[in-house]
Amino acid sequence: MRTLRQPSTPHPLAARPVLTTFLISLPFFALIACGYVAGRIRLIPAPAVAGLNTFVFYFALPALLFRTMALRPFADLYHPTFLAAWLTAGLIVYGAVLLCARLFLGVSLGGAALFGLGAEFSNSGYLGIPLVVNLLGPGATVPIALTIVVDVVVMLALTLVLAELSTGGVRHPLALVRTLVRGVLLNPLALSIAAGMAVSWLGQPLPGPLDVFTGLLAGATGPAALFLIGAALAIRPIARGVGAVGLMVTGKLVLHPLVVTAVMVFAFRVPPLWALAAMLNAAIPTAANVFVLAERYGVQAERVSTAIFLSTVLALATFTGFVRLLGV
């Protein structure tokens, strides 16, 4: 008796030519360009950019992350192997860039820590979720949300500690604890993910009004966040410093995705969809949070701003190229 072979499930990005992948990504970067033009011609002034950022960071994106966790079975959210893999890759990239900045550029410990964060901290919420989910489908939302947990709770906390130590801001251990609580534990993204996981663990559906309310906010995240990226880039300072800027941009767009790929595939053997979501998210430009920290501590702010700008401009080409490099 002849057995029938089950057709293999096509890869989420299989058989897409380079031009097709480029065109899929293009509208997202075009929306960033719209925000940038609006910011450059002062159609949207700096106070309006700050207001839009407040809406996205404190309302729309937390609602999206909350729903991502709350509407899924808790078993689907528990993935320690994935968390360990993303953290391992992040620490490798962070440490390598930090050491290069210290040894070859003579940057202070706090500045080097910010360079490391700039090479590791993807703009997951504002760009990673809308772009990668558009490519891979809704199943990619949870792994990207979990990368935000690691980046905020571990990598951001590590940078805060090193920056405080470097600038002499820690006069008492309690001061450092307060800084970490404000910067990490009270971060609205971390809080929304934790709240969503708690609802998922309880196994109860969202009440109707809360479901509609959070759904409305979540739906505004993508367009508002992408427009905001461009507008914010238009009003930030640009600085020289090829070595420092090149280190961060190369670390983010080249080193980070390659290290994540190696760790996910060869070291931890993460399930394919989750691994692919992490790889693509690693190829996303640097998050604006890094500039906020640099400006707060008065360390390398203009160079960090320039790196964020260049990584965003170059990402359309590098992201498309990385998709093809993965053979998908």
Please return the burial class of 216, using the count of CB atoms within 10 Å of its CB with bins 0-12, 13-18 and 19+: exposed
- For the segment 153-164, the average pLDDT, to the nearest whole number, is 90
Domain boundaries, the chain: 18-323
Min mean pLDDT across 39-53, 61-75, 229-243, 254-268 is at 229-243
Q: What is the DSSP letter of 107?
A: -
Predicted confidence band of residue 126 (pLDDT cuts 50, 70, 90) = very high
Class of domain 18-323: mainly alpha
* CA atoms of 12 and 281, how far apart (whole Å): 15
Task: Inform me whether the pLDDT recorded for 15 exceeds 60.
Answer: no
Question: Tokens representing 154?
Answer: 């571990």
> ∠ CA 104-108-114 to the nearest 5 degrees?
95
| Amino acid residing at 164 | E
Convert the pLDDT of each residue in 260-290 to its tens digit. Answer: 999 999 999 899 999 999 999 999 999 988 9
Convert the pLDDT of each residue in 69-125 to its tens digit. Answer: 999 999 888 899 999 999 999 999 999 999 999 999 999 999 999 999 999 999 999
> If you search the block for the tokens 């320039």, which residue do you land on?
306
pTM: 0.89
The whole-number pLDDT of residue 20 equals 79
Backbone CA torsion sign across 262, 268, 272, 277: negative
Task: Inform me whether the pLDDT recorded for 328 exceeds 70.
Answer: no
Predicted confidence band of residue 1 (pLDDT cuts 50, 70, 90) = very low
Convert the pLDDT of each residue in 174-231 to its tens digit. Answer: 777 777 887 787 889 989 999 999 999 999 899 999 999 999 999 999 999 999 999 9
- Of 129, 14, 84, nearest to 260 (Cα)? 84
Judge whether 119 and 155 are in contact, CB under 8 Å: no
Predicted confidence band of residue 5 (pLDDT cuts 50, 70, 90) = very low
Question: What SS3 state is found at 73?
Answer: coil
* CA atoms of 176 and 158, how far apart (whole Å): 11
